[in-house]
Structure 1
Amino acid sequence: MTQYLSDKLRILSLISIVFVLYIHSGFHADEIEGMVMNDRVQDFVSGMMGRCAVPLFYVISGYLFFLKVPEGMKSIYGKMRKRVGTLVVPYIIGCLFFVGFGVLMAVLPGVSKYMNSSVMPLFSKPIGEILRSIFYDAGNGSPCAFQLWFLRDLILIVATSPLWYLLLKHLRWILVVTCLGLTYLHIQFIPFFALFWFLFGGQLVQVKNKYGGASLTVFTIVVFLFLSVVQLFMPDMIDWELVKIPIIILGLISIWGIYDMVLGKDFKLSEHRWLATACQFTFFIYLFHEPTLNIVRKLIVVMLSKNELGYLTSYLLSPWIFTVCAVFAGLLFRRYLPRVYNVCTGGR
């Protein structure tokens, strides 16, 4: 992999995590009831633009996982062992952090109002259900640390990766397309949506870079934005769920091309100190942005008051303010507790 591609994947990962923050910065319908502009902005940024974020993470993960397998299955087993430290351990820590932080917020006087819900009812359940809620499914399809569903599904895919490696090796695009069709069946306990994007990224390893350039980028941007706007204002026009994945693919092609158009082939991340630093903490931000992001967005509303401007300002600024705070927190964490930081983030 070239340095240019490495830089590109790191920057696109940072952009994706900002969109994830936007998804989780949105206010509930009862909080912005009657605020039409706020509702439209949230739907467009989080719903239309943000829907590309998680698929892009899976595509990158699949691409990197299958990129270098010189010894075939032996290389796959080696990557599986490595992912225990880079995925499983951070996942366990992230799940425990969410619950522990929630307990702390519940017992500290005057701060519970900055949380959307309390984790305390969890501890009235049997121990088996508590562990299941914390580490697998709290009853809504996600663990208590709901943002970590992505990592949970990625761990499940990696755990079964020898099967996907063999199938992808022999079936290639047939497997990817088959997995695409299976996403529409919504089979419980099998994350076909995540698997499709992961295998899509894995198959891209075999594809030579014959990107169409600026003309293709402009075309995909126009089509993606057109469909997004139509969906935003005419949500009942068709069953948009049926074309969700094709629209996301258009969005991913757009993002990929925009990077080349804006930054160019001569761009070097190492020459941009602050951007390079921020890119180092993408995984850290992802692991620990909930429920801490809640505090930032609700504090802004408290300062600006609960009106249309306050909610809109909080929504638009919270992801950026939180990113800056998280990067500085990560720098301090890594500097003063380097070993602990490496364990928490899997050495990233």
Structure 2
Amino acid sequence: MNTYLSNKLKILSLIAMVLVVFIHSYIETTTNNTLMSEAIAFLQYFISQGVARVAVPIFFTISGYLYFLSYQNTTNDYIIKTKKRLKTLVLPYLLMSFFIVLCYTFILDPLFGHYINKSINIFHNSITDTLKVIFIDPLPYQLWFLRDLILLILLAPFIHYLFKFLKVYFIFILVLLWLPITSFSFYIFSNEAILLQKRKGNVYYLITLVWLLALTIKSIVNIKLGINNEISDILLKISIIMGGISIWSLYDICIKSETPSKILFTLSSYSFFIYLIHEPLLLSTFKKISNVIIRKNELFLPFFYFFNAIITIILCIIIAKGLQKYTPKLYSIITGGR
């Protein structure tokens, strides 16, 4: 991996993380069939249910590339890589999941239990429910990505052999099953030869325009038919593929130098920490507070939609900097040594 690709992966991780926060920043609202109401709905659909949906495939692609970089497909290599992921993936997953359970049990549930949609108290719930919410269905719902990534890593040799023997047929099967955000992007697009290519030219501008057009149509369909409908599902799948190619190529077009701006590079180091802590304590809290105002006047929704996401990201970075300064060892453990 050369310096350009290394920096590119870091910046794209930051961009994808910001998009994930905007996915979760989506504010439920009732469309009143007025022009203003539909415009607000379009804004959220276009960003949270459109542009931002490329974030997860980007994360899986980057994770797959980093895993299969120098992959030997030997038992010893598999053991070494798996042990390393215990520190970088499993430990942060368990720590954050358990920490949030403790927060809900000793702080949130006693004080704000009536206002919380999903809660757990280890003194009131069964051991089975508590273990499930720590290991399988964590309260910080964004951890599903780490959970699935851990599973994919455990299955890496199996995925490798499938691709080795089935080759192009394996890709075809995955496309039919529509798994672009799991095994598909995790393994297929992790090929270094594909990622090292710089994508510039008019064709990528065209792909970007098609992507934005598909998202525009999809957002309009969402307003008329709701999120769950076959047309939106098809357009979403098309837009995810187009969007991934667009963002990947737009980086090559926009970033001229091998090393990006120092600010972006510094912020990119906090991507994983933002991922870990932005939900449910920060962003959900801001959404609940802003909903009090939005119920009185829907015109405030666009402001809070952006404000909640931005202030959450800023707070995550401030917390990260504080931990790095006063408890660097703890920060390193939480982030898996990142």
Fold shared per TM-score above 0.5: yes
CA distance in 2 between partners of 1:119 and 1:153 (Å): 23
Letter in 2 for 1:253: I
CA distance in 1 between partners of 2:254 and 2:181 (Å): 30
CA distance in 2 between partners of 1:49 and 1:64 (Å): 24
Matching of residue 144 in structure 1 with residue 139 in structure 2: yes
Residue 105 of structure 1, aligned match among 95, 105, 108: 108
For residues 120-177 of structure 1, the C-alpha deviation after alignment (integer angstroms, 9 at most, x for no partner) is: 467543211221133213xxxxx32211111111111111212112323343443233
Letter in 1 for 2:109: A
1:11 paired residue number = 11
1:339 paired residue number = 329
1:216 paired residue number = 203
CA distance in 1 between partners of 2:44 and 2:319 (Å): 27
Conservation of the 8 A alpha-carbon contact between 1:90 and 1:343: yes
Residue 158 of structure 2, aligned match among 148, 153, 163: 163
2:267 paired residue number = 278
1:255 paired residue number = 247
State the Cα RMSD in Å.
2.6
1:47 paired residue number = 49
Q: How far off its partner does 1:181 sit?
A: 2.0
Residue 176 of structure 2, aligned match among 176, 181, 193: 181
Deviates more, 1:305-314 or 1:125-134: 305-314
CA distance in 2 between partners of 1:74 and 1:168 (Å): 21
Q: How far off its partner does 1:211 sit?
A: 4.7
Q: How far off its partner does 1:303 sit?
A: 7.2
Q: Secondary structure in 1 aligned to 2:299?
A: helix
Letter in 1 for 2:270: F
Letter in 2 for 1:320: I
Alignment of 1:1-348 (within 5 A): 1-29=1-29, 35-70=37-72, 72-103=74-105, 104-108=107-111, 116-120=116-120, 124-137=124-137, 143-183=138-178, 193-202=181-190, 204-207=191-194, 209-235=196-222, 239-242=231-234, 244-264=236-256, 266-269=257-260, 272=262, 274-291=263-280, 292-300=282-290, 306-348=296-338
1:189 paired residue number = none
Q: Secondary structure in 1 aligned to 2:50?
A: helix
Letter in 1 for 2:221: M
Letter in 1 for 2:210: V
For residues 292-317 of structure 1, the C-alpha deviation after alignment (integer angstroms, 9 at most, x for no partner) is: 21223444556788422322211112
Conservation of the 8 A alpha-carbon contact between 1:73 and 1:162: no
For residues 202-221 of structure 1, the C-alpha deviation after alignment (integer angstroms, 9 at most, x for no partner) is: 3x324374555131220111
Cα 1:300/1:130, change in 2 over 3 Å: same
CA distance in 1 between partners of 2:308 and 2:201 (Å): 32
CA distance in 2 between partners of 1:333 and 1:62 (Å): 29
**Count of aligned residue pairs for this structure pair:** 328
CA distance in 1 between partners of 2:19 and 2:185 (Å): 18
Letter in 1 for 2:330: V
Conservation of the 8 A alpha-carbon contact between 1:214 and 1:257: no
CA distance in 2 between partners of 1:222 and 1:170 (Å): 37
Q: Which runs of 5+ in 1 are unaligned?
A: 138-142, 185-191
Q: Which has the higher helix share?
A: 2
TM-score computed with the length of structure 2 as normaliser: 0.87
Cα 1:112/1:278, change in 2 over 3 Å: farther
CA distance in 1 between partners of 2:328 and 2:32 (Å): 45
